[in-house]
Structure 1
Amino acid sequence: MDAFSRFHRLNLNRSPIEEVRFSELSVLYCLKHKVPADSEGIKVSEISSFLNVTSPTVTQLINSLEKNELVERSIDKKDRRAVQIRLTPKGEKTIQEAINVFIESFHGLVDFLGEKESLQLAELLTQVYNYYNQIAV
């Protein structure tokens, strides 16, 4: 139990980019990986589904990201009632910086643990995820 408590206190949900909250990075990551390059964007409901949070929560995050010029909204050409969200060039640069920081961090962890223990950790974390996902109501 002590190990879980210490791990929780590490606060791994803090953002590697000072100007952007971790929750906002999650939206940027979703947009980077879910929006095809030739697309107008995706709907708030699609982001909401991907992140498993409510649409009003996503809307608040989008408002903040738009204010900081990291995303932009546009009217859906097929359904004028809908709005599409996509990354701006500044948003693309920001999420790529965050991804690079995460990758560097994981490389450091692999160097610290070694390949064998890193693989064991990945397997155990997958099992932990599956367990908690299974019991989630």
Structure 2
Amino acid sequence: MAGNESETAQRLIKAFQQFRKTGRNEKKIAGFNPSEYRVLFLIQRANENNSEMKVSEISQKLRVTPPTVTQIINGLEKDGYIERTVNPEDRRAVRISLTEAGLKATEQARKTFNETILGLIDYLGEKDSEQLAELLFKVHDYFNQLDNQ
């Protein structure tokens, strides 16, 4: 039994390593790196719900430090994708919203990302895609449990 567990462990390690080597988690989506895409997506979702995103909220949702988010936002603002507006009632609160260019770019990035996922489903088939999703949720739960011990 221990030999089988070891073989399975080695196979899992190799699978994780191969997936990591693809660099999929670092590839650009419609010209945006993954962290930029995630920030744009969060801002878009908040704006659609008529709410405001603060750097601290983005930081919490993405599980990165506020200075990291500020750096991403600075770059997106410089490129004309987002704008900051000071709240007149509370000058410390800054509203972050998408510009028209940011909205278009975010929609294109979302479309590109969705096409990639649909391509994966076509490649794997519906049944294997469902199984993969279920297994990835379980992997996520397992690692969250480890982190919370």
Aligned counterpart, 2:107: 96
| Alpha-carbon distance in 2 for matches of 1:43, 1:91 | 17
Instruction: Using structure 2 for the length normalisation, give the TM-score.
Output: 0.84
Aligned counterpart, 2:29: 16
Q: Determine if the alignment matches structure 1 residue 33 to structure 2 residue 33.
A: no
| Alpha-carbon distance in 1 for matches of 2:30, 2:147 | 31
Instruction: Using structure 1 for the length normalisation, give the TM-score.
Output: 0.91
1:44 touches 1:84 (CA, 8 Å); kept in 2?
A: no
Moved over 6 A (4+): none
* SS of aligned partner of 1:69: coil
Deviation at 1:35, TM superposition (A): 2.5
Aligned length: 135
Aligned counterpart, 2:145: 134
Q: Determine if the alignment matches structure 1 residue 78 to structure 2 residue 89.
A: yes
Deviates more, 1:52-61 or 1:66-75: 52-61
Deviates more, 1:49-58 or 1:29-38: 29-38
Unaligned runs of 5+ in 1: none
Q: Aligned residues: percent identity?
A: 45
RMSD: 1.5
Unaligned runs of 5+ in 2: 1-12
